[in-house]
Amino acid sequence: MRLEEQVLEKLSLYKDTWPMLKNNLRIRERREKIISEVSAELLREVRKIKEESIENLEQNIERLRKALQERGAELRIARDGAEASRIVLEVCKQYGVKLVVKSKSLTTEEIELNKVLESENIEVIETDLGERIVQLAGQKPSHILGPAFHMTKNEVAEIFTKYYGRPIPPDPQQIVLEVRKEFREKYQRAGMAITGANFIIAENGAMVLVTNEGNDRLALAFAPIHIVVAGVEKIVSSTRDVLKILKILPRNATGQRLSSYVSFHLPNMTAYPREAKLSPRRTIYILIDNGRMEARQDREIKEILYCIRCASCLQVCPPYNMVGGHVFGYIYSGPMGIPWTMIAHGLEKTSFSQLCNTCGLCREACPLDINLPYINSIVKERYGKRFGYPSLNKLLKRYERLITLASRAPNLSNKLLNSNFARKVMEKFIGIDSRRPLPRLSEKNLGEIFTELGLPEKGNIVLYTDLLIYYMYPDWAVKAAKILSSLGYRIIIPSLKSCGMPLIQYGFMDDARRIAGYNVEYLYSLIEQGYIVVSLEPTAQECLTNYYPKLLASEKSRIVAENSYGFFEFLKKIGWKEVTKVLKSLGGVHVTYHLPCHSRARDGSIVVKEFLEALGAKVYFKKIGCCGLAGTWGMKKNGHGYDVSIEIGRYLVKEYEKLGGEFIVTECSICLLQFQHLSNLPCRHPLQLVQLASIE
């Protein structure tokens, strides 16, 4: 089945129940309550720990080998999954193992170990409840922490009813009791335990496991043989490193200060007595390369090796939350699943990367500050160059030319864009879904309006508007310019290219780099003359501060990023006290505010909410996530974008309409389009609400 068909199938299955989203929202709610306990300094420290662990990997492997030898355990490095599976199978055969209990199975999922063992008639029991459910259902996990998050309790009960051969009620409590009873016998009988590891400590050979169920503990307590299957990147240098990471892992993963069970497990344990005899437990650590060592040399994606598998990125990813990991993933799923699939399973398995809408929420959520949206665009680029870019994306790559062309005859273009026939033609030949309303072109573009207004040729602010405001909503820019002018600034409108986000979004990185290069050169020369860059569109600002420095890796791009501000962020820098002097009060106005994904003030504050509140508005706000449109992504027909985008937006609008605002307000022109399409409430840009005190 093609990707877009799989998308439509899942959307129809999850319609109105949103199982992935609801499970992730529950975790996010718990996480929000305690995440402020983690300092930015600690996060930086942990990032450094992971950077150093990857940098010193060879030395750490040797230290670990020595530590394990001293404790009577063995270290094997497997080049790939096949080699790791072969080692496990050899040990099973050597000791006549017939039953294996597993826990912390993500890495063994990666190498699909169960298939190999089962083909040799070895019974394999996944002991984590979620893993067990998907194992019995013959599925892959849909979430790296909640493998069965996509299922309802009725579906789970059906699986166990079939397995036990008697009715099991759809009651999680009852299901847990049944599994508990069955597994107690399995633990005692198993000839081998296979576990993953959250961390492995090079200096002493301890493996660290973090779980909530305690399945790992019982699997290990009884097993005479223990095999650890983990990626090489799990090695850290010291106990201290692990204690630092433990401060952030459970808080981010499940919203707990610490998971129910954490163990620092040494390999020199005595095995549980069998036939009243004690014997040392045989322990083998199999560390898997499977593409990791190559990724370590790959400048563009290396930082994904710092991932601690907290799944924060899955919690917030809008398309993933709509379709789940069976579509948005291979074995690793969600945002982190894109590069991990490329590393472990090859580029050819990453076609699902097209579902990433580059909203960037994953980066914001990642405690290690891994630049996932950029890395994912790199994967899309590599996929596109090797296997061909999707034809829709190739057409939409020309978005700037299409808009510029249409703007030459705005009235005619608007008429055409409103005709059903033209929309059907556009759907067929360009791929823009005919159900998606498009914004109207302004009769005069911003450049023309500014020329008529006779604003100064020289100033101290470059107001960067990007494409949509320039051609469709120039009034907002005029209002912004007047506000800045009232505050004593002089504005120029630059002849910049569009920010290039659609190119980044679809992985046309060479084209994006060219645009970034042009814009940076232009802005840098102005900054040298003392200008400050102020962007009206959050996405333009995101490109200037996040993507351009990554794309160009130049000093100039860094300087441009440092000297660029979002419009409302800049107003905050001036001071709300000064700003409110030049604007009329919004007292008595009740608004529901939507925070666009790309609105990221340097100080982490929600500046537009502050702005509206400073003017006296009552602001209702609930942080849920992306509106779903994400530029041209949500315009693409059917399962390519539109239907997922609508489903994301529908949930958001349902929640927003309950909050109590008279308007939905947001500073992103794209988010506004989505809300205008889906909400019964009027939707406004903040600049449409405010009026200058002196002039208007």
Q: How far is the CB of 663 from another protein (least distance, A)?
A: 33
In the complex with another protein, the residue whose CB is nearer, 544 or 624, is 624
End-to-end CA separation in angstroms for the chain: 58
CA distance 692 to 474: 17
Cα 445 to chain centroid distance, Å, stands at: 35
**Residue in this structure with the two tokens 């601690």, named with its chain if needed:** 308
Q: How far is the CB of 6 from another protein (least distance, A)?
A: 23
Q: How far is the CB of 156 from another protein (least distance, A)?
A: 5
Cβ–Cβ < 8 Å for 100, 190: yes
Neighbour tally for 502: CB within 10 Å:
24
In the complex with another protein, the residue whose CB is nearer, 23 or 539, is 23
Residue 218 lies near another protein (rule: CB under 8 A): yes
In the complex with another protein, the residue whose CB is nearer, 141 or 639, is 141
Neighbour tally for 45: CB within 10 Å:
15
Of the residues 44, 86, 162, 184, which one makes contact with another protein according to CB under 8 A:
184
Specify the stretch interacting with another protein by CB under 8 A; choose among 175-183, 401-409, 469-477, 548-556.
175-183
In the complex with another protein, the residue whose CB is nearer, 130 or 474, is 130
Of the residues 61, 77, 137, 221, which one makes contact with another protein according to CB under 8 A:
221
Binding mask 102-131 for another protein (x = CB under 8 A): -------------------------xxxx-
Element (H, E) at 6: helix 3-14
Residue 204 lies near another protein (rule: CB under 8 A): yes
| Contacts of another protein in 379-408 (CB under 8 A) | none
Cβ–Cβ < 8 Å for 679, 661: no
CA distance 221 to 218: 5
Binding mask 278-307 for another protein (x = CB under 8 A): x--x--------------------------
DSSP characters for 413-452?
A: HHHHHH-HHHHHHHHHHT-B-TTS--PPPPSS-HHHHHHH
Cβ–Cβ < 8 Å for 101, 182: no
Residue 151 lies near another protein (rule: CB under 8 A): yes
Residue 26 lies near another protein (rule: CB under 8 A): yes
Residue 180 lies near another protein (rule: CB under 8 A): yes
Q: 344-357: b or e for each residue (b if 16 or more CB lie within 10 Å)?
A: bbebebbbbbbbbb
DSSP characters for 489-503?
A: --EE---PPP--HHH
In the complex with another protein, the residue whose CB is nearer, 321 or 341, is 321
Residue 273 lies near another protein (rule: CB under 8 A): yes
Residue 23 lies near another protein (rule: CB under 8 A): yes
Query: Over 545-560, what HEC string results?
Result: HHHHHHHHCCHHHHHH
Residue 271 lies near another protein (rule: CB under 8 A): yes
Residue 466 lies near another protein (rule: CB under 8 A): no
In the complex with another protein, the residue whose CB is nearer, 269 or 406, is 269
CA distance 115 to 124: 9
Residues in CB range of 66: below 8 A, 6 or more apart: none
Residue 680 lies near another protein (rule: CB under 8 A): no
Residue 236 lies near another protein (rule: CB under 8 A): no
Q: How far is the CB of 62 from another protein (least distance, A)?
A: 19
Q: How far is the CB of 187 from another protein (least distance, A)?
A: 8
Apex 677 CA angle, 512 and 373, nearest 5:
30
In the complex with another protein, the residue whose CB is nearer, 215 or 679, is 215
Cβ–Cβ < 8 Å for 576, 610: yes
Tokens found for residue 570? 């800049």
CA distance 324 to 140: 11
Residues in CB range of 620: below 8 A, 6 or more apart: 590, 591, 592, 593, 659, 660, 661
Specify the stretch interacting with another protein by CB under 8 A; choose among 106-114, 183-191, 295-303, 580-588.
183-191
Partners of residue 461 on adjacent β-strands: 491, 532
Of the residues 239, 460, 486, 688, which one makes contact with another protein according to CB under 8 A:
239
Residue 148 lies near another protein (rule: CB under 8 A): yes
Q: How far is the CB of 359 from another protein (least distance, A)?
A: 23
Cβ–Cβ < 8 Å for 102, 195: yes
Residue 265 lies near another protein (rule: CB under 8 A): yes
Residue 217 lies near another protein (rule: CB under 8 A): yes
Instruction: Identify the three-state secondary structure at position 636.
Output: strand
CA distance 523 to 493: 11
In the complex with another protein, the residue whose CB is nearer, 260 or 418, is 260
Element (H, E) at 257: none
CA distance 23 to 28: 9
Residues in CB range of 569: below 8 A, 6 or more apart: 541, 601, 602, 607
In the complex with another protein, the residue whose CB is nearer, 1 or 278, is 278
Of the residues 56, 139, 256, 554, which one makes contact with another protein according to CB under 8 A:
256
Residue 2 lies near another protein (rule: CB under 8 A): no
State the number of binding residues for another protein (CB under 8 A): 69
| Contacts of another protein in 68-87 (CB under 8 A) | 71
Residue 163 lies near another protein (rule: CB under 8 A): no
Q: How far is the CB of 287 from another protein (least distance, A)?
A: 19
Of the residues 36, 119, 121, 270, which one makes contact with another protein according to CB under 8 A:
270
Residue 240 lies near another protein (rule: CB under 8 A): yes
Tokens found for residue 652? 């958001």
Residue 414 lies near another protein (rule: CB under 8 A): no
Q: How far is the CB of 327 from another protein (least distance, A)?
A: 20
Q: How many CA atoms lie within 13 A of 595 on its CB side?
A: 20
Residue 60 lies near another protein (rule: CB under 8 A): no
Specify the stretch interacting with another protein by CB under 8 A; choose among 271-279, 323-331, 582-590, 670-678.
271-279
Residue 196 lies near another protein (rule: CB under 8 A): no
**Residue in this structure with the two tokens 């680029």, named with its chain if needed:** 381
In the complex with another protein, the residue whose CB is nearer, 148 or 314, is 148
Residue 152 lies near another protein (rule: CB under 8 A): yes
Q: How many CA atoms lie within 13 A of 124 on its CB side?
A: 26
Residue 244 lies near another protein (rule: CB under 8 A): yes
CA distance 692 to 696: 5
CA distance 606 to 619: 12
Residue 277 lies near another protein (rule: CB under 8 A): yes
In the complex with another protein, the residue whose CB is nearer, 230 or 615, is 230
Query: Nearest CA to 109 among 96, 94, 124?
Result: 124
Specify the stretch interacting with another protein by CB under 8 A; choose among 239-247, 425-433, 587-595, 597-605.
239-247
In the complex with another protein, the residue whose CB is nearer, 223 or 512, is 223
Cβ–Cβ < 8 Å for 540, 469: no
Longest dimension (CA), the chain: 95
Instruction: Give contact residues for another protein (rule: CB under 8 A).
Output: 19, 22-23, 26-27, 71, 127-130, 133, 146-149, 151-153, 156, 172-173, 175-176, 179-180, 183-184, 188, 201, 204, 206, 212-215, 217-218, 220-223, 239-240, 243-244, 246-247, 254, 256-266, 268-273, 276-278, 281
